[in-house]
Every structure is written in C-alpha cells, then in structure tokens.
Amino acid sequence: MKKIRMKQRIIDYIKEKGQSSADEMTNFFGISRQIIHRHLSQLVKADFIYRIGKPPKVYYLISKEGTVKNDDTVSDSLKKIINENYLVITPSGEQKEGWDGFVYWCDKQKLPVEKTAIEYERTLKKYAPYKKDGLIDGMYKIKHTFDHIYLDKVFYLDFYSIERFGKTRLGQLLLYAKQSQNKDLIRELVVQIKPKIDTLLKKFAIDAVGYIPPTVRREVQLMKELERQLNLSVPSVNLVKVKTPIAVPQKTLTKLEDRVENAKNTIVVDDTHTYETLLLIDDALGSGSTLNETAQKIKKQGLAKTIIGLAITGSFSGFEVISEV
C-alpha cells in the first residue's frame, strides 16, 4: 500500500508542477534516488508519465489522458513486423521505436490500433515487390525523366515515405540526422545502410566511391560524416560544390530543367585518378538530376567507365521533389 501511495504522490506532484526532475522529487519526498527512480521507471512503463531530455537533464511529465494502450488483440507476428519497420520522431524530439512508436502515432491520429496495424502491414506488402535484395531499382525513374542517361545503374535503399503513414524508418532517420546535425542519428543511419553498401561494393566490384557534396553549410555535414563513419574499403573521388553568391539547394527547385542546371553548374569533379566502377552516393533521389549530371562530368573526364548511383531514400513516382532533405 505504501508503494501505491508513493506512486500516487509522485503523480500528484508532477501534475502540480507541470514537470519535475528525479533530483527535485528526491529532495521533496526525502527518499533515496534509487527508490524514486524505481517508482518513476514503473510509472513510465505503465504510461502514467513520460520523460523528456537526456541525462543529466531529464524531466518527467504526466501522460495525456486517453493514451492508446497496447492492444492485446494484435498478433505477435504483426507486432514483430511493426517493431522491425516503424520509427517516429515526435514534435518534441523524442525517438519512438517499433510498436510503442506506432501506438503513439495512432493516438496522435486518433486511429484504432488493431485496424491501423493491419493496414500498415498491407501497405508494406504493397511496396515490398519493388525491393530486391534490399535495393530498389531506380533506372525506370531515370529513363523516364531524362533524354540522356549517364548512370549505368541507380538504386535506393527505401522509399522516403509511403502513402498514409508518411516517412519510412530510413526517411525519418535521414531527415532528422541531416536537419538536427545529430551524430548519434547519423551513426544509427550508418548501421542501417552499411551492410547494403558493402554488398554493392562486392557485387559490382566497385573500386571507388563519390559522395555528392552538400549545398547548405552546416557544422556537421551529413555526407562528410557518412563518409567518415562508413569508412569504406575503397578510395573516395573528390567532388566539390562550387561556392556561388547565393546557395540554391536542389530541394528548393521544382522544375526539372532548373535542377539539371543547378547540378551542372555547381558540382566539380576535382580528381585525376581512373577507375573501372564508381559508386556515387546521394542522400535522397527526387528527380535524379544531381546523380545523373555528376555522372556525366565523371565520364567526360574519363575517371570511371561504369557509374552506379545510390540514394539512401527515393520517391515512389517519377520526377518528384523531396523538399525536406
């Protein structure tokens, strides 16, 4: 009974304060940190409260009333699929994985968990045939977008988003790793994509790699950090983004011809080595103009005979602007 009363006192205290830290509650209640943390952990697990922040600054808040709880009618096999595929980043910057994240999203959207879970599985199955050995072939998109193709092959690892459910797991990681310049998220992204890139290196006997340089200056540049953390076994071709009076990111351009012009006039291949097969990596493939134009420059300079493009994510339909990344 004392434990139950203590938990209720903690809930009442957080309600009154709006939010509170473990240290503050330890001092207020006059009990040990170990005991307060045990109570808080149990209350979080039971969904009475939730926490925000990272150590040493972690705060606890009351969960919203009416939060959707785990639906026991959902099969373990379906939960497994969601645990393997689902990720959501909340508006307050919390990363929610798998089933817990899916339940959170259903709650936000005011959707029934079981029915929505079945629809999510059905949607994943719809997109699954496009993936072969973990890769999506993007050549159909490229061939139906450009008159002249300089890429010999092009792949992406997942769609950036899918109907109704929005950004995929890789889409979420890519967006927030890039926008927040978060090295932990970039590391998580690397864990997801490196095995597939290593497989590509072996399958096509790739002997060099090039990373599409960024337009917008950031303290932590996604592609540079990817290059460092991937630490691939082949040399990197030096690609340079030319400084212009006004930096114009590809994502701001909605016309295909403008995207082609942007890539043609702002990316320079500053390298003199020659290779048989080069892997050209970009973060997202919307139109494919950056990869295709960069491939043209590389081939014209005689640096590589075969060029394979790879994007972390891509759009499902033809020319489509992925404006967020």
The whole domain housing 100 covers 76-128
First to last CA, the chain: 53
In this prediction, residue 266 carries a pLDDT of 80
Are residues 50 and 154 both part of a single domain? Answer: no
Give yes or no: residues 33 and 180 share one domain. Answer: no
Residue 247 has pLDDT above 80, yes or no: no
Quick one: 34 and 89 in the same domain?
Answer: no
Is 255 a domain residue? yes
Question: Does pLDDT of 66 surpass 50?
Answer: no
- Predicted model pTM: 0.78
Could you give the percent of the chain with pLDDT greater than 70?
Answer: 92
Provide the pLDDT for residue 3: 58
Q: What is the mean pLDDT of residues 247-263?
A: 74
Assess whether 152 and 81 both reside in one domain. Answer: no
Residues 283, 152, single domain; the answer is yes
CATH of the domain at 29: 1.10.10.10
Helices (H), 110-165: 113-127, 139-143
More confident residue, 1 or 272: 272
Question: Distance of alpha carbon 157 from its chain centroid, rounded?
Answer: 11
CB 154 within 8 A of CB 288: yes
Residue 255: what pLDDT? 77
Residues whose CB falls within 8 Å of the CB of residue 107, separated by 6 or more in sequence, listed in order? 64, 66, 67, 68
State whether 208 and 281 are in the same domain. yes
CA distance 269 to 257: 21
- Domains in the chain, number: 3
Angle at 246 between CA 243 and CA 250, to 5 degrees: 85
Amino acid, single-letter form, for residue 170: L
What sign for the dihedral angle of Cα 53, 54, 57, 58?
Answer: positive
Q: Check: CB of residue 160 under 8 Å from CB of residue 167.
A: yes
pLDDT per residue as tens digits for the range 210-223: 999 887 777 888 99
| Structural domain contains residue 27 | yes
**In sequence order, what are the residues at sequence separation of 6 or more whose Cβ sits closer than 8 angstroms to the Cβ of residue 161?**
167, 168, 171
Answer yes or no: do 156 and 276 share one domain.
yes
Which CATH number is 142's domain given? 3.40.50
Q: Which of 155-169, 198-212, 262-276, 292-306 has the lowest mean pLDDT?
A: 262-276
Residue 97 φ/ψ, nearest 5 degrees: -95, 150
pLDDT band at 111 (very low <50, low <70, confident <90, very high): very high
CA distances 97 to 41, 83, 87, 275, Å, are 18, 7, 5, 41
| Buried/exposed 263-302: b ≥16 CB within 10 Å, e otherwise | beebbebebeeebebbbbbbbbbbbbbbbbbbbbbbbeee
Q: What pLDDT does residue 68 have? A: 41
- What is the reported pLDDT for 117? 96
Q: Is residue 38 part of a domain?
A: yes
**Whether residue 106 is found in the same domain as residue 122:** yes
Q: How far is CA 239 from the centre of its chain?
A: 24
